[in-house]
Copies of this chain bind each other. A is one copy, B any other.
Amino acid sequence: MAGVNSTALLTDHYELTMVQAALRSGAAHRRSVFELFARRLPGGRRYGVVAGTGRFLEALADFRFGEAELADLAAREVVDEPTLEWLADYRFSGDVHGYAEGEIYLPGSPIMVVESTFAEGVLLETLALSMLNHDSAVASAAARMVQVAGDRPCIEMGSRRTAEGSAVAAARAAYVAGFASTSNLEAGRRWGVPTAGTAAHSFTLLHDDERAAFRAQVDSLGAGTALLVDTYDVEQGVRNAVEVAGTGLGAVRIDSGDLLGQAHAVRAQLDELGATGTRIVVTSDLDEYAIASLAAGPVDSYGVGTRVVTGSGHPTAGMVYKLVSREDDEGVMVDVAKASRNKVSVGGRKEAVRRLDNGVASAELVGIGEAPESDGDDRPLLVPLVRGGEVVVPTGPEAVEAAREHHRRARAELPRSAGRLSEGEPCIPTRFIDELPAPRQALGTEDTDDR
């Protein structure tokens, strides 16, 4: 129970003071259900992508208050002595069900359901939200980019535009959503994401001239490398590149200017020089809209930085973690929800299936208290992640590959309207089904005529 890997302080002060007060009132030990969900999708998006689950499950195993953490909490008088004693023995012993990593989510989808005592569950609020909100924001943006890129690979290159730990998580999330590779080396080591990269402008500027730089790069990395041709003049750069590397040059990269116009010019020039197999990589503040605008151009792959790691305008997924049910004095579970008008929550433990009609998703059905009545085609969405405190699914690089594959299949089920970049309603509606079979509340659109 060492402090070095502890994740226990990656949380908010008030979670510990709530535990203190609830230990004193006795309510700390009431059985409770917390759910993690998003009230809406950011920016009129058509769907969201769950990511971060595997990271959360690894962090959960390290969520222990060791000597270092306890000493700090004591020194700063965050909580009292009985609470410190309780924290010293803390180990999550409950159950967690959730959407598989890579799954599509919609407004109101019960993305994660945590069942434990109040005290055990409330402590996980910030850790779960930090990881799911960030990673899902990146994956949701990445999925749109992958979708418009079609068969052309997207490379995640945004490490420098986000904090160093987020960079690793963002590379992982983008890969889950279909990116081909990343520039981030730690994401390669930690999560098995393929890494890629060639050279920056500084490498060209370091050498006496562009040809000397290209020669150095080709000598070391082979003619299959990608040469950056826009440090001085693109046309001269392409000429230098082919002269130095030969017509077997792997790729050229363009990182500035009118990308579409340049791609056409560079393609024509490469073909004229006989480098018909040389690919064109474009980078420079790309997002899903810029990628869409390049779809008709002779571009072979997209390097995406800032916009993917910052969620393309929506750097957080806005998910919340709410108490939806808890035990009363008689040991009976009671559904609970905040009443304030503009922050509607639906009480009660949820189950969810995706309704499929001939393999095409038509609704997110969320049952309260029990599973929605299901026809044969429906796909259950909640899978067991933790049982009695033990993580029951893989979490390492193989889980990232599985999440990527899961995402590919779940994405393929969505109706055609999911592919729209314009702002609008979610591509399928969320329907809350009460214990009674009639729909109780719908979030999202009923407009599913389009496929």
Contact = CB atoms under 8 A, between A and B. Distances in A.
Contact of A316 (B130, B161, B217, B231): B161
A289 interface: no
Contacts of A154: none
Interface residues of A, number: 104
A429 B305 CA distance: 29
A10 interface: yes
B21 A220 contact: yes
Contacts of A373: none
A301 interface: no
B164 A10 contact: yes
Contacts of A12: 157, 159-160, 183-185, 197
Given A126-B160, A162-B316, A340-B230, A20 B201 contact: no
Contacts of A207: 25, 27
A278 interface: no
A198 B20 CA distance: 10
A53 interface: no
A205 B163 contact: no
Contacts of A323: 201-202, 205-206
Contacts of A240: none
Contact of A189 (B9, B32, B215, B230): B9
Copies in the complex: 2
Interface in A187-204: 188-189, 195-203
B185 A162 contact: no
Nearest to A13: B197
A395 interface: no
B18 A199 contact: yes
Interface in A144-165: 157, 159-165
A59 interface: yes
A326 B212 CA distance: 15
A232 interface: yes
B159 A205 contact: no
A405 interface: no
Nearest to A226: B14
Interface string A310-322: 1000011010011
Contacts of A221: 17, 20-21
B159 A126 contact: yes
Nearest to A11: B185
Interface stretch (A91-99, A131-139, A415-423): A131-139
Given A10-B168, A207-B27, A338-B231, A160 B188 contact: no
A172 to B, nearest CB: 11
A206 B22 contact: yes
B162 A315 contact: yes
A129 interface: yes
A249 to B, nearest CB: 15
A113 B295 CA distance: 40
Best-surrounded residue of A9, A21, A212, A322 (most CB of chain B within 10 A): A21
Given A21-B203, A201-B323, A343-B256, A134 B157 contact: no
Nearest to A305: B316
A231 B339 contact: yes
A47 interface: no
Interface of A: 4, 7, 9-18, 20-25, 27, 30, 32, 34, 59, 69, 72-73, 76, 78, 80, 118, 122, 125-127, 129-131, 133-135, 157, 159-169, 183-186, 188-189, 195-203, 205-208, 212, 215-217, 219-221, 230-233, 256-257, 306, 309-310, 315-316, 318, 321-323, 326, 328-329, 336-343
6 contacts: A11-B185, A12-B183, A12-B184, A122-B200, A130-B164, A315-B315
Given A9-B189, A13-B188, A257-B342, 15 more contacts: A9-B185, A10-B168, A11-B159, A14-B197, A15-B197, A18-B200, A24-B220, A27-B216, A76-B188, A80-B220, A134-B162, A165-B166, A166-B166, A232-B339, A256-B342
